[in-house]
Amino acid sequence: MEPGNGTQILEFLLLGFSDEPELQPLIFGLFLSMYLITVFGNLLIILAISSDSHLHTPMYFLLCNLSFVDICFVSTTIPKMLVNIQTQSQVITYKGCITQMCFFILFGALDDFLLTVMAYDRFVAICHPLHYTVIMNPRLCGLLLLVSWIMSALYSLLQSLMVLQLSFCTVLKIPHFFCELNQIVKLACSDTFLNNLVIYLSAVLLAGVPFAGILYSYSKIVSCIRGIPSAQGKYKAFSTCVSHLSVVFLFYCTGLGVYLSDAATHSTHSSAIASVIYTVVTPMLNPFIYSLRNKDIKGALKRFCRMAAMKGTTVLGLKNFSCLES
């Protein structure tokens, strides 16, 4: 890549949150804790669903994929930031920056599409319960997941290829804790009109259209729930949607809040801090939202932990027995 002065770009600088040395251990500990909670929480959801045959349904199949994507989503940004803090370096290579941006866009878009597919799943379950197993069959679930991956990959590839066409100036400091697309485009010396146009159009299509689909699904769900005669039936139908609605609210409201605050204040530092909410906090809270509001997940987690404890006790007992024999 040739920047404006004709020298080849080898690296960017990620400025992060603060340059003050005394704050670095606090930031490191905070983000390491959030990262570990996110990974282990979502991994526990995946293992609990996989180990319980009662949860091998479309709803939990999609939840399992959402947890996997959330793990990948946080893993594209936080580990590099932790390494930079530990090594007291702000450097990220040009290839590493483009790769990080590519995967961040991929898994962010996947989150968006999966939440939309999960809304459709709830719509079918509540509005067409007798045909649920016929409509949401394994083939359709697999097809929806495949389309989500393909759409996300194409979008990520498009944005990455467009960034690769840009030339950059000598000032390559990114006022963020990861290589965020908008911040990279702002550093370019070449014309970025087409890049900005694609960013805004894709935001409307890839965020607006799925969000409209979610709103439409829940408008139909509300109409169906209102038609249920018993209060208990209404509560049971609505309770299956509470967890998903909570995650949708967190994902869209925090993401929208970040970009609106960025546009209003033009403060890159405040934007970086606000970005933590939807890039780290939301994936961290998802396992708690689904486990606390869902009896099936809580039951599966208890059974999985009990089974893991029994296996651990058995293995420990066998080791002790073999030591005594020897």
Determine the average pLDDT of the residues in 99-114: 95
Q: What integer pLDDT is reported at residue 122 of this predicted model?
A: 92
Q: How far apart are CA 36 and CA 22, in angstroms?
A: 23
| Of 88, 226, 93, 112, nearest in space to 172 by CA | 93
**Stronger pLDDT, 130 or 171, i.e. the higher one:** 130
Q: What integer pLDDT is reported at residue 257 of this predicted model?
A: 65
Determine the average pLDDT of the residues in 239-248: 84
Rounded to the nearest 10 degrees, how much is the dihedral formed by the CA atoms of 190, 73, 289, 27? -80
Task: Name the superfamily (CATH) of residues 11-298.
Answer: Rhodopsin 7-helix transmembrane proteins (1.20.1070.10)
Tell me what percent of the residues of the chain surpass a pLDDT of 90. Answer: 44
Residue type, 172: L
Please determine, for residue 314, whether its predicted confidence score (pLDDT) is greater than 90.
Answer: no
| Of 325, 296, 176, 323, nearest in space to 236 by CA | 296
Condensed to tens digits (0 to 9), the pLDDT of residues 1-45 reads 444 444 456 789 998 887 787 888 999 999 999 999 999 999 999
Please determine, for residue 149, whether its predicted confidence score (pLDDT) is greater than 60.
Answer: yes
- Average pLDDT taken over every residue of the chain: 84
Determine the average pLDDT of the residues in 56-61: 91
Q: Model confidence at 251, in pLDDT bands (50, 70, 90)?
A: confident
Q: How far apart are CA 14 and CA 44, in angstroms?
A: 32
Q: What is the DSSP letter of 170?
A: S
Q: How far apart are CA 221 and CA 178, in angstroms?
A: 38
Determine the average pLDDT of the residues in 112-122: 94
Q: Are 182 and 192 spatial neighbours (Cβ–Cβ below 8 Å)?
A: no
Q: In what order do the strands lie in the sheet with 173-174?
A: 91-93, 11-14, 173-174
Condensed to tens digits (0 to 9), the pLDDT of residues 277-289 reads 778 888 998 888 8
Q: What integer pLDDT is reported at residue 281 of this predicted model?
A: 86
Please determine, for residue 77, whether its predicted confidence score (pLDDT) is greater than 90.
Answer: yes
Q: What integer pLDDT is reported at residue 140 of this predicted model?
A: 95
Sign of the CA dihedral 244, 299, 138, 123? negative
Determine the average pLDDT of the residues in 156-167: 93
Q: What integer pLDDT is reported at residue 5 of this predicted model?
A: 41
Q: Model confidence at 83, in pLDDT bands (50, 70, 90)?
A: very high
| Of 194, 199, 166, nearest in space to 12 by CA | 166
Q: How far apart are CA 10 and CA 68, in angstroms?
A: 32
Question: In this predicted structure, which of 47-51, 121-125, 184-188, 296-300 has the lowest mean pLDDT?
Answer: 296-300
Q: What is the DSSP letter of 227?
A: T
Determine the average pLDDT of the residues in 57-63: 92
Residue type, 58: P
Tokens of 214: 């979610």
Q: What integer pLDDT is reported at residue 323 of this predicted model?
A: 54
Q: Model confidence at 263, in pLDDT bands (50, 70, 90)?
A: low
Domain residue spans of the chain: 11-298
Please determine, for residue 313, whether its predicted confidence score (pLDDT) is greater than 70.
Answer: no
Q: Model confidence at 106, in pLDDT bands (50, 70, 90)?
A: very high
Q: What integer pLDDT is reported at residue 2 of this predicted model?
A: 44
Provide DSSP, 248-316.
Answer: HHHHHHHHHHHHHHHHHH--HHHHHHHHHIIIIIHHHHHHHHHHHS-HHHHHHHHHHHHHHHHHHHHHH
Determine the average pLDDT of the residues in 113-133: 93
Provide DSSP, 46-91.
Answer: HHHHHH-GGG-SHHHHHHHHHHHHHHHHHHTTHHHHHHHHHHT--E
| Of 250, 240, 218, 224, nearest in space to 63 by CA | 240
